[in-house]
Amino acid sequence: MTTRPDFAAAVGQTPLLRLRFASEATGCEILARAEFMNPGGSVKDRTALGLLLDAEQRGALRPGGTIVEGTAGNTGIGLALLGASRGYRTIIVMPATQSREKIDALRVTGAEVRLVPAVPYKDPGHYAHQARALAAQMNAADPGSAWFADQFDNTANRDWHEATTGPQIWEETGGAVDGFVCACGTGGTLAGVGRALKARKGSVTIALADPAGSALASYVNTGELVASGNSISEGIGSSRITANFDGAPIDLAWSIPDDESVPLTHRLLHEEGWCVGGSSGVNVAGAIRLARSLGPGHTIVTVLCDAGTRYQAKLFNPAFLRAKDLPVPQWLDEAFPA
């Protein structure tokens, strides 16, 4: 009998999928880790577990303590579910602009959710700053009662992906991986996987797929943080260099517009049955670009980050898509007639 004893033991047990239409269009093998199959529904379960294990090992979170984090949603969901399984309370500070589905998912976990206005990182009202201040306030009143997870600048995030996600990709491709590409929010996945793969095969190409409105692709290509455009994607992109992103071994970077990524998200669902979120569309767009850059015959790996049901009111809403001047596939129009 094979069993998993708890939530933590189920994290990371995700399959590597072949993406048929992307592979056939490029002549490459385009593969994707199905991170939406994690128990909390996203790749951020991995991040949450790495951060929490590190905190427990360092004694930064006492039994029965409170996890505090600022998050766009998925890391908070992972932390809250892990917390529930290990006896911790969780408080999440979150931008009010995030999808209703993610906000509701957090509340269902039992986490206390504090919604704040979406402001730039330089503003002291930014959700990450507010979460840090809250944990400090709690610890001032009761030392050791709260732990601020700090997913953006706590490099236990990157280190966990380097120790787990990267080696999994290497082993499951038999070392045949030629390129890895994904978007960045914290930078932990791309930096950690990139470091792990480069250590095993120096010629592997690591690429950033950056949503429009983020400054990271500009930084990789020019050394300057310059952003243009905007995106309906949530949880990815940044206007600053986080500690996890800093020094990531990135060879190529592209800014991906929504009118390229969103149709790929729709194709993943309608043609292959994978209901995933907008960041997955950005990642697949990046994988196709990387495949075309390297040429036919290569193996490219990316990540399907979370489920599309967390963004249904946006990604699969014809009225919303039209309001953003994004294409609406006929099957979606037929499913939700005006």
C-alpha of 205 from chain center: 20
Percent of the chain scoring above 90 in pLDDT = 93
State the alpha helices, DSSP H only, in 142-226.
156-160, 166-172, 188-200, 216-222
pLDDT, tens digit (0-9, with 9 covering 90-100), for 267-295: 999 999 999 999 999 999 999 999 999 99
Residues with Cβ within 8 Å of 54's Cβ and at least 6 positions away in sequence, in order, are 60, 154, 156, 159, 160
Q: Check if 201 is active-site.
A: no
CB 242 within 8 A of CB 219: no
Which is it for the CA torsion 272, 275, 277, 279, positive or negative? negative
Where residue 337 falls among pLDDT bands split at 50, 70, 90? confident
Q: Which residues pair with 179 in a beta bridge?
A: 205, 300
Phi, psi of 18 (to 5 degrees): -90, 125
pLDDT higher than 80, residue 121: yes
| DSSP structural state of residue 70 | E
pLDDT higher than 90, residue 204: yes
44, 102, 198, 324: which one is catalytic? 44
Single-letter amino acid, residue 208: L
- Give me the mean pLDDT over the 80-91 stretch: 96
